[in-house]
Amino acid sequence: MAMRGVLRMAEVAIRVMDMKAARLHYGERMGLHEVMQDDKGQVYYKAWDEHDHHCLVLREADAPGLDYVAMKVYDDRTLTELESKVRDFGLDVRRIEAGFYPKSGRRIEFTLASGHTMQLYAEKEQIGNTLGQLNPGTTPDEGVIRGFNINRLDHALLGGTNIDQNVELFTKVFDFDLSERIIDHESGISLAVFLTCSTKPHDIAFVLQPEPNRFHHVSFLLESAHDVIKAADKIGKYRIPVDVGPNRHGVTRGATIYFFDPSGNRNEVFAEGYVHYPDTPTIIWDTTDLGGATFAQDNIVRESFLTVLT
Ligand SMILES: [Fe+2]
């Protein structure tokens, strides 16, 4: 397989204000698997079809929002190479020794131009998806029929300043492609940028905001648009607050529903979308079709979707 370098969005660390309510939401309702609670009370989750130990970390705090995002890179040599490239790009790099984050090898950390904390690491303990690797079959005894039937962490959308500088970093240093871009039709400035290191339509995205370091949403992958509707049934049943009901994005062409955790952090479950290849041209949307870019089944721009961030 040709894909090396940065592999994927691998870990998202979120602040929640009430861990008991958060556990009910992310564990029992959404169906993520709680794999650990550390000595600081932080709770760790994985989705069933991920091999790494965890993809989501919850920390109890006074306010919601994002602590950091972390991407996994191919190997330790790649991490070393990227560290010098990030320094050459002009960002300060902080080194985090192996074991500081549980089950994790060494990491590097830096602050994006948009104000967000981002980390890279090459190693994390793998605990598998319960199927094993020899004649694994297709369906675990427990796990897939649980909550929203989440397969894996998919992407995050972050709000902040200087998002074009992030595009420079991700495309020139991390070898991502700019898959899509939403621009103001008069000024041409970037309002949102979508970046991929894989065949997914996006692994990370940024939306322009007046304030740095804001969190728009974290998204988890389901198998099908049908599963998005089934998740919506449970979201309604459990009275989980909905931001935008089932719809399909123009950007990415993914089937989607947006809802909030008990602390007000926005979550998405997402399915389908197109396959991106390195030679796929960048798609441009402008503000004359903002409805179609965001929610293409009714073409309505949601004010809350554009303005509510944690
Ligand atoms: Fe999303």
Each residue of 191-216: pLDDT tens digit?
999 999 999 999 999 999 999 999 99
β strands within the chain, DSSP E? 6-16, 33-37, 43-46, 56-60, 65-73, 94-96, 107-111, 117-121, 152-160, 177-183, 190-196, 204-208, 214-221, 242-248, 254-260, 266-272, 283-286
Please give the distance, rounded to the nearest whole angstrom, from the Cα atom of residue 20 to the centre of ligand 1. 26
86, exposed or middle or buried, with CB in 10 Å at 0-12, 13-18, 19+?
Answer: buried
Percent of the chain past pLDDT 70, that is, above it, reads 98
What integer pLDDT is reported at residue 307 of this predicted model?
Answer: 84
Please give the distance, rounded to the nearest whole angstrom, from the Cα atom of residue 260 to the centre of ligand 1. 13
Confidence class of residue 141 from pLDDT cuts 50, 70 and 90? confident
155 is catalytic: yes
Query: Catalytic pick from 33, 155, 216, 276?
Result: 155
CA 194 to chain centre: 12
189, exposed or middle or buried, with CB in 10 Å at 0-12, 13-18, 19+?
Answer: exposed
50 is catalytic: no
Q: Tell whether the torsion through CA atoms of 176, 180, 184 and 188 is positive or negative.
A: positive
Do 184 and 35 contact (CB within 8 A), yes or no?
Answer: no
Where do the domains of the chain lie, and which CATH numbers do they carry?
6-121 (3.10.180.10), 152-307 (3.10.180.10)
101 is catalytic: no
68 is catalytic: no
What integer pLDDT is reported at residue 145 of this predicted model?
Answer: 67
What integer pLDDT is reported at residue 304 of this predicted model?
Answer: 87
Would strands 94-96 and 107-111 be described as parallel, antiparallel, or unpaired?
Answer: antiparallel
**Residue 93 token pair:** 């790099």
216 is catalytic: no
Place of tokens 């994006």: 112
Percent of the chain past pLDDT 90, that is, above it, reads 92
What integer pLDDT is reported at residue 139 of this predicted model?
Answer: 85
Distances (CA, A) of 95 to 80, 104, 109, 110, 116: 11, 13, 6, 9, 17
Count of C-beta atoms within a 10 Å radius of residue 226: 12
34 is catalytic: no
Which of these, 13, 190, 201, 204, lies nearest to 112 by C-alpha position?
204
For the chain, what is the mean pLDDT? Answer: 96
Sheet of 214-221: strand order equals 242-248, 254-260, 266-272, 214-221, 152-160, 204-208, 190-196, 177-183, 283-286
DSSP character for 52?
Answer: B
State the pTM of this model. 0.96
Distances (CA, A) of 209 to 155, 175, 206, 253, 295: 19, 25, 9, 23, 20
Please give the distance, rounded to the nearest whole angstrom, from the Cα atom of residue 134 to the centre of ligand 1. 34
